[in-house]
Amino acid sequence: MTIHTQDAALQGGSKSDSDEESLLEMESVTKHFPVKTGFLADIFGTDYVHAVDDVSFDLDRKETLAIVGESGCGKSTLARTIVQLEDPTDGSIRFKGQELTDLSSREIRSLRQDMQMMFQDPKSSLNPRMTVGSIIEEPMKAHDLPRIDGSATDAAPESLDEELVADEGVSKSSYRETRARELLDLVGLSPDAYARYPHEFSGGQQQRINLARALSTNPDLIIFDEPVSALDVSVQAQVLNKIQEIQAQMDLTYLVISHDMGVVRYIADRVAVMYLGHLVELGEAEEVFENPQHPYTDGLLKAIPRPDPRKRGTRNSLEGEVPSPEDPPSGCRFRTRCPELIQPGVGEATLEGLSESVAQARLDTYEMDDEKWKSTLRFLRAVERREFTSEDADHLEQEYFPEGIPSGEPGDVVSEALTLVQKGDIETAATLLMNTFEENSICALERPEYTVEAEIEGEEHLACCHHCRSQ
């Protein structure tokens, strides 16, 4: 073990006396992956997949923070960045006060003892040719634990969350075996599982073995990547209850990556919602679930099928598809699907850095009433997604603007688009509508980031939506 981590252990290792300090501080963490690599890419440049973009949050000791989002939103990349399986492109990650991005790989390796990760698929994360005992002991071996210290008072630690220090006379391997058996007991498996092989266990039991392995180095932080989504529902609660029980017992801090809002509500203290690499909402769990501020969070919650046939059809589905992370939309990344897009001219965007024509357009206010703007937005989306039943202009006008086309400039644009659609030039119509309405909305011009007062739980609530600007 390096001196470095011993220092860390002295400063922040005893968990009780450093409660105020956050265990993990993420600041503007960004991870971009090049689409093409090699020397041609070096010469001509390449596109980047914006997997994680400018994500900041703190993780306090003993809390459970859940990061939710759909596939491709960057939540797993974020987790891999924290454990330094990926180097962040930009930003700072501080773990127990140490800047991880500055450390050498050797230093990071020894620091990983304090942060462990548990993966989704219980089967493929266990080596089928190793016994359960040696699987659990592996991380201790890798970190050469326990430390031998002549001044250690007792032969074996009394509780499982003590520093892994053994007396000179104790053999390391027998120490590890004792600890492995105790951990098996802790996660609810019989200690005689020690000599058996992973395939002899069910999925839920295998996930318990994974948990025991994650606990073996006595970490501070455990990152769970979809801990129960591969398990049957009747077993999910067993594993989640165990995970929570152990957190209280061993004062652990959890970061849970999940797409399952039910699981998140059950175990999380705070929730962060990600969409296309951005954090869109962050707050206390009850606050986010009961008072979602971002239309994406709201849509995600409404999209979940409820186990009640009487609630059928009350669900709204999120429309459209996630845009490519290679070329994410400007401003709010959800704006291309957002049902609450703000009409141009509303909201004060900073005009710095905008070209003159765009800045001029920004100052135009169409002053459509809500009804008219909703119809226009609905029409814009339909043209964008080519979702209409007829290409006849009169028919479309009746379907989307039963109250009549808006007056003035927006009306002219809508009429022009209708004519284009009738001519079959949907592409141009879509571009025209997009450029006039969506691209000039504050949602496209400025990335939203607001903190509102929490209503249900906690004090602050981060909501990255321009609808929160007045609050």
Task: Specify the residue for token string 């571009």.
Answer: 431
Backbone angles phi, psi at 224, to 5 degrees: -105, 120
Binders of other proteins among residues 55 to 74 (CB under 8 A) are 70-71
Nearest distance from residue 457's CB to other proteins, in Å? Answer: 10
334 or 366: CB nearest other proteins: 334
Nearest distance from residue 325's CB to other proteins, in Å? Answer: 12
- Residue 456 neighbours by CB under 8 Å, 6+ apart: 284, 286, 287, 290, 291
Binders of other proteins among residues 373 to 392 (CB under 8 A) are 385-387
Peptide bond into 122 cis (omega under 30): no
Interaction of residue 236 with other proteins, rule CB under 8 A = yes
Nearest distance from residue 259's CB to other proteins, in Å? Answer: 7
Beta strands (DSSP E) in 112-152 are 115-118, 147-148
Stretch that binds other proteins, among 75-83, 123-131, 262-270, 409-417 (CB under 8 A): 262-270
Q: Which of 93, 261, 421, 442 binds other proteins (CB under 8 A)?
A: 261
Interaction of residue 431 with other proteins, rule CB under 8 A = no
Q: Which of 319, 394, 409, 455 binds other proteins (CB under 8 A)?
A: 319
Could you tell me which residues are beta bridge partners of residue 117?
Answer: 223
Interaction of residue 234 with other proteins, rule CB under 8 A = yes
One-letter identity of residue 203 = G
290 or 409: CB nearest other proteins: 290
Beta strand 221-225 pairing with 115-118: parallel
Stretch that binds other proteins, among 20-28, 82-90, 189-197, 310-318 (CB under 8 A): 310-318
Give the C-alpha distances (Å, rounded to integers) separating 302 from 297, 311, 312: 9, 11, 12
Stretch that binds other proteins, among 36-44, 59-67, 177-185, 200-208 (CB under 8 A): 200-208
- List the one residue out of 242, 252, 177 whose CA is nearest residue 218: 252
Binders of other proteins among residues 1 to 30 (CB under 8 A) are none
Q: Which of 35, 40, 155, 304 binds other proteins (CB under 8 A)?
A: 304
Binders of other proteins among residues 97 to 156 (CB under 8 A) are none
24 or 211: CB nearest other proteins: 211
- List the one residue out of 441, 438, 449 whose CA is nearest residue 362: 441
Nearest distance from residue 122's CB to other proteins, in Å? Answer: 12
408, 434 in Cβ contact below 8 A? Answer: no
- List the one residue out of 29, 153, 6 whose CA is nearest residue 80: 29
Measured between alpha carbons, how far is 238 from 234 in angstroms, rounded to an integer? 8
Interaction of residue 240 with other proteins, rule CB under 8 A = yes
Nearest distance from residue 242's CB to other proteins, in Å? Answer: 10
Q: Which of 45, 315, 419, 423 binds other proteins (CB under 8 A)?
A: 315
- List the one residue out of 355, 327, 365 whose CA is nearest residue 442: 365
55, 65 in Cβ contact below 8 A? Answer: no
137, 126 in Cβ contact below 8 A? Answer: no
Stretch that binds other proteins, among 81-89, 161-169, 207-215, 317-325 (CB under 8 A): 317-325
Interface ranges with other proteins (CB under 8 A): 70-71, 202-205, 232-238, 240-241, 259-266, 285-286, 289, 299-301, 303-312, 315, 317-319, 321-322, 385-387
